[in-house]
Amino acid sequence: MSLEIYPILCNAGFMDNYAYVLIDSETKVSAVVDAAEEKPIVEFCQKQDIIPSYILTTHHHEDHTNANLALKKRFNAKVVGSKIEENLISGLDIALNDGDLFKLGNSEAAAILASGHTNGHLLWYFSKDKAIFTGDVLFNLCIGGLFEGTPQQMWQSLQKIKSLPNDVRFYPGHEYTKSAFGYLIANQNQPQIQKYLQFLEQCRQNNQPPVGNTLGLEKLCNPYLLLQTEADFVNQMS
């Protein structure tokens, strides 16, 4: 694997977004996923002497694109996002369709359409690096709300994620883990929940944000991913 991933908490205490700085370790080409807030992203990049070439946008909502124009101006970075949302994403330079591939140095991401939260929401899936950036579709132990799409669309988007290998690590667009603590405590005797709690504790001990869990564990623990039929999911979302 050649992709280095650095999570950056943005809009702390308000929206608690995650931006991510990605670096292809072989070529040093870098990118930002979801430029949520200028200051913490710029501070990290300056500290690490990073000049991102791209901004990979999952969807058009302002809390994920607030810093697009500022980072474009500062770093001369190009904004990459969904063709469906080309008139909605701030500063968009490169518009991709479902299934298009995007090269970041020697790393490569597939743009996967995942409608529901918004109509043109993209997942960025680096298959060789076993990493996926899920924006506002999938969070730790919960999922995103339906702002533009339907429950049926969100169900199909989640099935795309569930079809990926269990060892893929996922990186959500917000820090919402605290909202699931009640669920974790209520089910703490289940072996898979104990593993989830161990993951969270390990992150805490290492002073790291709780991101990068495996899809395999998320599939076993996330109540929305445990639903077996579209009808059950639609009923849950209604």
pLDDT at 2: 87
The whole-model pTM stands at 0.96
Query: Does the pLDDT value for residue 111 go beyond 80?
Result: yes
Query: Mean pLDDT across the stretch 11-35?
Result: 93
Domain 3-237 grouped into CATH 3.60.15.10: yes
pLDDT at 31: 98
> Confidence band (pLDDT; 50, 70, 90) for 1?
low
Cα 156 from chain centre: 17
| Residues 191-206 pLDDT 10s | 999 999 999 999 999 9
Cα 185 from chain centre: 25
Alpha-carbon distance of 167 to 113, in angstroms, equals 21
Q: Which strand (E) or helix (H) includes residue 171?
A: strand 169-172
Which amino acid, one-letter code, is at 191? P
| Residues 45-64 pLDDT 10s | 999 999 999 999 999 999 99
pLDDT at 178: 86
